[in-house]
């Protein structure tokens, strides 16, 4: 039994090594410039060893994308299980920002794939990309139903928010993950998203008294109309 566990650990470590090295190469050179010989040389292993774990270069490429996306989605789902409000779920989704900065090589590969710069197809990968978007779309949908968020086009808004996150990652690729500025930008990003989609709170008119004073000369129909119209605008301003 101990031997089997050690073998499994060895195979997992070897497989992860191949994926990590490949991710660096793909992110730097692009899919078409990388070949199995380059991966084997960089990993310090025989070319044939790679085929013990992966069928082809395409298999390596898609596995990098799929395993990282599966990990991201799993982490998000665990966060959502712990949160008690839709606002906190939205805050939790911004975790995507930190995750992509942690796995920078994957992010660069993912961007090429997402923007169709690599003419490659994987049904599983497309499903995972859609699932990530659906997680955000479900938060938006629930927020709209609960009147927490504005009545927005969910699909369009989800794309815009994801675009904001990806842009934030791009501008911070040269920063260390523990940089305090990243933590601040993460919160600023969350605040920007929330301010954009959250329903503005209206001031309650309960217990508000408007005192109207006028002279005897003003006590005619026209004056009353003007006063009532003024009151209407006051109430509108209070509710803005």
Q: How far is CA 1 from CA 7, 27, 121, 133, in A?
A: 10, 39, 40, 42
Model confidence at 14: pLDDT above 50? yes
Q: What are the structural domain ranges in the chain? A: 1-54, 58-197, 204-240
Q: What is the pLDDT of residue 58?
A: 93
Determine phi and psi for 181, rounding to 5 degrees.
-65, -35
Q: What's the pLDDT tens digit per position in 189-222?
A: 999 999 999 987 644 445 555 455 555 554 554 4
The arrangement of secondary structure in 58-197, i.e. its CATH architecture, is Orthogonal Bundle (1.10)
Q: What is the pLDDT of residue 234?
A: 40
* Interacting residues of 175 by C-beta distance below 8 A, sequence separation 6+: 101, 181, 182
Q: What is the pLDDT of residue 227?
A: 46
Q: What is the pLDDT of residue 40?
A: 96
Q: What is the pLDDT of residue 177?
A: 77
Give the pTM: 0.75
Q: What is the DSSP string of 194-206?
A: HHHHBPPPPPP-T
As a whole number, mean pLDDT of residues 42-59 equals 94
Q: What is the pLDDT of residue 238?
A: 38
Q: What's the pLDDT tens digit per position in 119-153?
A: 667 888 889 999 999 999 999 999 999 999 999 99
As a whole number, mean pLDDT of residues 101-121 equals 81
Q: What is the pLDDT of residue 202?
A: 47
Q: What is the pLDDT of residue 225?
A: 42
Model confidence at 181: pLDDT above 90? no
As a whole number, mean pLDDT of residues 173-180 equals 83
Q: What is the pLDDT of residue 116?
A: 67
Mean pLDDT computed over every residue of the chain: 83
As a whole number, mean pLDDT of residues 79-89 equals 89
What CATH number should be reported for the domain whose range is 1-54? 1.10.10.60
In degrees, rounded to 5, the angle at the alpha carbon of residue 155 between the alpha carbons of residues 30 and 202 is 130
Q: What's the pLDDT tens digit per position in 55-81?
A: 999 999 999 999 999 999 999 999 998
């Amino acid at each position: 039994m101990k031997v089997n566990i050690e073998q499994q650990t060895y195979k997992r470590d070897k497989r992860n090594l191949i994926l990590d090295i490949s991710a660096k190469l793909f992110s730097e050179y692009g899919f078409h410039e990388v070949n199995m010989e380059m991966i084997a040389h960089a990993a310090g292993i025989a070319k044939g060893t790679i085929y013990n774990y992966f069928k082809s270069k395409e298999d390596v490429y898609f596995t990098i994308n799929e395993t990282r996306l599966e990990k991201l989605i799993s982490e998000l789902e665990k966060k959502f299980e712990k949160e008690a409000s839709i606002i906190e779920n939205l805050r939790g989704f911004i975790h995507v920002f930190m995750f992509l900065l942690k796995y920078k090589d994957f992010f660069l590969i993912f961007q090429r794939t997402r923007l169709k710069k690599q003419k490659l197809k994987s049904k599983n990968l497309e499903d995972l990309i859609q699932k990530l978007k659906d997680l955000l779309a479900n938060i938006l949908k629930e927020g709209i139903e609960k009147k927490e968020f504005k009545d927005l086009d969910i699909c369009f808004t989800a794309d815009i928010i994801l675009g904001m996150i990806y842009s934030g990652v791009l501008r911070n690729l040269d920063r260390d993950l523990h940089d305090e500025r990243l933590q601040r930008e993460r919160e600023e990003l969350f605040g920007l998203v929330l301010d954009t989609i959250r329903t503005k709170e209206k001031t309650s008119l309960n217990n508000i008294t408007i005192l109207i004073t006028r002279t005897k000369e003003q006590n005619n129909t026209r004056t009353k109309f003007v006063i009532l119209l003024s009151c209407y605008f006051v109430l509108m301003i209070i509710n803005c």
